[in-house]
C-alpha cells in the first residue's frame, strides 16, 4: 500500500538506481571518504552538501568511475560499477556535468554537443533531434553553434556542459558544483534547466556549494563533513534543521 511519503514524493517507492554502500576512498595516503553510503532512486533528485574538502565531489566521482573505492561497493541498477571505467559507465546511460564545466575550448559548440552524443553514435536521426531540442532549450547555444567553446562566457560554458549531458538522453545525470563561479543571472538559468529535468523524471545526483538552491531542488540530501555522512533525510527537513541553517544557509 502506498505511504504518505510515496504520495508526496513518488520516487520514494521507486527502485534504487544508484547505491554507494559504505565506501572508503583514498588519494594516495590521504583518506577522503569514510564508510560513505548514498542511495538515489529512479526519478529522484538527491543532493550531496558539505564544505570544502568534505568529500562531496569524491562521492560523485566514485559513481562516475573517476575515483575507485578502496572499500565498499557502488552499484547501478543492482550491478556493480566500481570496477568499471568512466567510458563503460557512460555507456550505461549516465551523464556527467563536471565541476569547472570542462568544455573542449578549441572545438565549436556544435562539436562539443556531438561529443556528448557519442554514446548514441549509431542513432543518427535521434542525435539530430536531440541537438535541435538542445538548441531550443538553450537559445544562446543555437546562436553560437559555430563559435569556439573557449570563447563563451563562463555561464554560456555551463549551459554547454548541461546541453552536452542532455543530448546523451541520460537516465541518470551526475552534476558537480553547477553554480560555482556564475553570476546570479546564469545561476537562475542553470536551475531552471535542472528543475525542468526533474519534472521530466530524470534521475539527478548533484553536488552543490549553494545549499539553499540544492535543497530547493532536491527530494533528499546528504551532508558530509571530513569525509563522513553526518546528516541525511528529506531536503525540506534538512532545510529546517537549525544545524544545517547555521552551517550552510546563513542563519545566525
3-class secondary structure, 223 = strand
**Model pLDDT for residues 100-118, shown as the tens digit of each residue:** 778 888 999 999 998 888 7
C-alpha cell at 206: 548533484
Residue 35, phi-psi category: left (phi > 0), alpha (psi -120 to 50), beta (remainder): left
Confidence of residue 12 (pLDDT cuts 50, 70, 90): low
**Of 6-15, 77-86, 152-161, 228-237, which range is least confident?**
6-15
Give the CATH class of 4-93+171-249.
alpha beta
Give the C-alpha separation, 30 to 53, whole Å. Answer: 12
- Residues 48 and 176 sit within 8 Å (Cβ to Cβ): no
Give me the phi and psi of 202, to 5 degrees please: -70, 135
DSSP code string of 38-53: EEEETT-EEEEEESTT
* All residues at 6 or more sequence positions from 138 whose CB lies less than 8 Å from its CB, including other chains: 159, 160, 162, 163
Cα–Cα–Cα angle for 164, 203, 38, nearest 5°?
115
Among candidate residues 13, 20, 17, the one with its CA nearest the CA of residue 78:
17
Dihedral sign, Cα of residue 106, residue 140, residue 60, residue 87: negative
**pLDDT attached to residue 7:** 40
Compute the average pLDDT of residues 189-217: 93
Domain ranges in the chain are 4-93+171-249, 103-169
Range of weakest confidence among 18-27, 65-74, 157-166: 157-166
pLDDT above 80: residue 8: no
Segment 208-217, tens digit of pLDDT: 988 999 999 9
Amino acid at each position: 500500500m502506498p505511504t504518505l511519503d510515496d504520495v508526496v514524493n513518488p520516487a520514494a517507492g521507486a527502485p534504487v538506481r544508484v547505491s554507494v554502500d559504505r565506501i572508503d576512498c583514498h588519494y594516495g595516503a590521504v583518506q577522503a571518504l569514510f564508510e560513505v553510503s548514498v542511495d538515489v532512486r529512479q526519478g529522484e533528485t538527491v543532493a550531496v552538501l558539505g564544505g570544502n574538502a568534505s568529500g562531496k565531489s569524491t562521492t560523485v566521482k566514485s559513481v562516475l568511475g573517476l575515483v575507485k573505492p578502496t572499500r565498499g561497493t557502488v552499484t547501478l541498477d543492482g550491478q556493480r560499477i566500481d570496477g568499471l571505467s568512466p567510458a563503460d559507465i557512460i555507456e550505461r546511460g549516465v551523464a556527467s556535468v563536471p565541476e569547472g564545466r570542462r568544455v573542449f575550448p578549441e572545438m565549436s559548440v556544435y562539436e562539443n554537443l556531438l561529443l556528448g552524443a557519442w554514446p548514441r553514435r549509431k542513432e543518427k536521426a535521434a542525435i539530430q533531434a536531440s541537438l535541435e531540442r538542445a538548441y531550443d532549450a538553450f537559445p544562446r547555444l543555437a546562436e553560437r553553434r559555430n563559435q569556439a567553446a573557449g570563447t563563451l562566457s563562463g555561464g554560456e560554458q555551463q549551459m554547454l556542459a548541461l546541453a552536452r549531458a542532455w543530448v546523451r538522453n541520460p537516465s541518470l545525470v551526475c552534476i558537480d558544483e553547477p553554480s560555482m563561479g556564475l553570476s546570479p543571472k546564469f545561476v537562475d538559468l542553470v536551475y531552471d534547466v535542472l528543475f525542468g529535468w526533474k519534472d521530466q523524471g530524470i534521475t539527478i545526483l548533484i553536488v552543490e556549494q549553494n545549499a539553499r538552491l540544492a535543497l530547493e531542488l532536491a527530494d533528499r540530501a546528504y551532508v558530509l563533513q571530513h569525509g563522513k555522512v553526518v546528516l541525511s533525510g528529506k531536503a525540506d527537513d534538512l532545510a529546517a534543521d537549525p544545524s544545517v541553517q547555521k552551517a550552510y544557509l546563513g542563519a545566525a
